[in-house]
Amino acid sequence: MRTQVGIIGAGPAGLLLSHLLHLRGIESVVLERRSREYVERRVRAGVLEQGTVDTLVEAGVGERMQREGLPHHGIELRYGGAGHRIAFERLVPGRCITVYGQQEVVKDLIAARLAAGGDVRFEVNDVAVHDAATDRPYLTFTEADGTEGRLDCDVIAGCDGFHGVSRPSIPEGVLTEYRRDYPFAWLGILAKVKPSSEELIYARTERGFALHSMRSPEISRFYLQVAPDEDLAAWPDERIWAELRARLETVPGFTLATGDIVERGITPMRGFVAEPMQYGRLFLAGDAAHIVPPTGAKGLNLAVADVRVLTEALARLFADGSTEALDGYSRACLPRVWRAQHFSWWMTTLLHTFESDDAYARRLQTSYLDYVTSSEAAGTTLAENYVGLPYQEETS
């Protein structure tokens, strides 16, 4: 086979890239290790920045999101027995977030690609990158039926996540990897229960952090700060709900609704960036290039930002043969990546408890929370980063 862009990974980054390229008349083939059912049911992020929403709408894949997504115009910071609302409509007028599950974005993108005759191949194994340093790279793989395949292309996009094959395909010594592992994890659950709040609640308590989120008017999403090596089996439903109540029912009049837990898991907390995000004709996007702790809700949104830049650069390449924008891809993406890294680190350290903290450190946290919730300038900084900074002309 031959195509213009070979894409590894059918997550939001790979699928959106394929769709945006299609709109520019550029061919691509997407290779995905998992089944279609698996990627459409994989629960991940659910908070979409304003720029992500705008991108999906402009690409013609936002109709269901606009109909079923939940726009939020603020979040609550809950600590010290009180709730404090960060009001987006006042601090960043005209910008908000939309709660719409990543798996729903994936479903919409797969439907759009298949409806347009796109080549998306699931259950593809043994994908390997070859000759990435040349202008004739190619991929080898094994189809679901065992047939061995080869895909020749002009460019390879590695959109296969943190544990994928793309980044390890880059020779040792080329990348500089920056990493921070946090001394806790998140225990996340999905429950069949109406949300107890109309907006997300970020709760800081002496027992640890908790987050009340949602996926729909009938489905709620919750997270608890736990030990990094926590055993999920040690958390039966009763213990999860008891701990959520202890961390969230800290303000007068708030009662947490409970229901059937339909999914649970433990997510490690880490920050990671690989620089540069490219090698020859291999370009990394999304989690293949960077990871953020989920506190700032930036992972999916950073993937969309990467793909926007990469699409413009590829459009220039195939329009007139210019490689200038492609050569500057990593340089264009990294400022936003590091801004998101800092914001995610800041939110994480502001709201979580650390075993190493003493009374002095805890008082510093409270002092800064008081500042954020009382200062117009500090609140605006949180709000504009949370809803997402406007896109710049990164490829210029």
Tell me the one-letter amino acid at 329: Y
Q: At what angle do helices 359-374 and 329-351 cross, to 10 degrees?
A: 110
Which residue from 62, 10, 13 is spatially nearest to 303, judged by alpha carbons? Answer: 13
Check residue 147 and report its DSSP letter.
-
- Is the Cα torsion angle 43, 46, 49, 52 positive or negative in sign? positive
Cα 30 to Cα 13, 139, 141, distances in angstroms: 11, 11, 12
Q: What does R_g of the chain's alpha carbons equal in angstroms? A: 21
What's phi and psi for 14, nearest 5 deg? -65, -45
Cβ atoms of 152 and 2 closer than 8 Å: yes
Helix boundaries (H) for the chain? 12-23, 36-41, 50-58, 63-68, 88-91, 102-115, 237-248, 299-320, 324-327, 329-351, 359-374, 376-387
Cα–Cα dist 185/293, whole Å: 9
Cα–Cα dist 139/320, whole Å: 25
Cα 223 to Cα 120, 164, 235, 329, 386, distances in angstroms: 33, 26, 13, 35, 18
Cβ atoms of 30 and 119 closer than 8 Å: yes
Q: Cβ neighbours of residue 43 under 8 Å, at least 6 residues apart?
A: 101, 102, 103, 190, 263
Cα–Cα dist 180/163, whole Å: 16
Which residue from 1, 33, 279, 62 is spatially nearest to 142, judged by alpha carbons? Answer: 33
Q: What is the distance of C-alpha 289 from the center of its chain?
A: 12
Q: Annotated active-site positions, please? A: 72, 202, 294, 298, 386
**The token pair that represents 257 in the structure block:** 């609704």
